[in-house]
Chain A
Amino acid sequence: MPFNVMIVDDSDSTRAYIRKIIGLTGLPVDQCLEAENGRKALELLTHNPVDIILTDINMPEMDGLAMLRKMKEDRLAQDTPVIVVTTEGAESHVRMAVELGARGFVKKPFLPEEIKNALLKVIRPKEGVGYGKDKRTTNDVDF
């Protein structure tokens, strides 16, 4: 079953690069939404069904951690797995992202297969969409 993915990054080139990688993975993607910061992503989330979110952390207006916090507070897209794709790999940020619900972590600079592997880990094999809510720890996230 095709899924909808949302890429949140303030770099147009990086969003285009990730979109291109996703296209090359052969994974069944229906819609690929894009947002340049957390605020725009939240707006899109309220109007569009999204199955997987890939987000950067360091963005103007609303960063990725603030977006995750807001999603948690507002119970917005709570079942949607979030993969953090960022250069800000500080341990404190990774811990915070996991506490706020992130399901995967890809550090920039990444290889295309790292994005693919992170996507495959959060796609439920038979249903083609993300995991539901469950308990998770930092041990469940790839650093």
Chain B
Amino acid sequence: MEKTKELLMMSIFEAFERMFYIFLEPSDPGCNGHDMEASIGFDGTVKGQMKLLLPRAVARKMVQNMLGLEDDKVTVSQMEDCAREAVNVVCGNFLGKVDPSDFRLTSPTCSKPVKGEASVQEGEGKNVFVLGFAAEGGRIGVAVVIR
């Protein structure tokens, strides 16, 4: 359980630093203020779902850093696209560390979070991980359910 959590954290740090040039600090996972929820399912030797919750300010920063755009040039569509790509990259990276032999990902989606925080409950799966991070622009949440 601890090892899996460690691999998940490593994957989150790698994805945000390498693709979005955003440096995260571990933080309280139970925070509100998320505007976007990107979600992806996975199947293979390990099955489940991952959710990434972001405030708009962080998503905006991701687009700016990735594409070198000015603040006023960033569109909602680009922020949603970056959120989807982020959960896709974090999830693929994480599964590659857990068991690289075989896994498949669904197409990531992005929507408004229902409760404003990582909406997974204990009992939804065999293992549930909910992590929080502080970033420039706000806090992000990552929730993984392994079934």
Contact = CB atoms under 8 A, between A and B. Distances in A.
Interface stretch (B61-69, B111-119, B122-130, B134-142): B61-69
A86 B88 CA distance: 10
Contact of B63 (A13, A86, A90, A108): A13
Interface string B70-84: 000000011001101
B15 interface: yes
Interface residues of B, number: 30
B3 interface: no
Interface string A11-54: 11110110010000000000000000000000000000000000
Given A109-B14, A109-B89, A91 B102 contact: yes
A55 B92 CA distance: 16
B54 interface: no
Interface of B is mostly: helix
A47 to B, nearest CB: 26
B46 to A, nearest CB: 11
A108 B93 contact: yes
Interface of B: 14-15, 17-19, 44, 63, 66-68, 77-78, 81-82, 84-85, 88-89, 91-93, 95-96, 100-105, 107
29 contacts: A11-B88, A12-B78, A12-B81, A13-B66, A13-B81, A14-B85, A17-B19, A17-B66, A58-B88, A58-B92, A58-B104, A59-B107, A60-B107, A87-B88, A87-B89, A87-B93, A88-B104, A88-B105, A89-B92, A90-B100, A91-B100, A91-B102, A92-B101, A92-B102, A108-B15, A108-B88, A108-B89, A109-B93, A111-B18
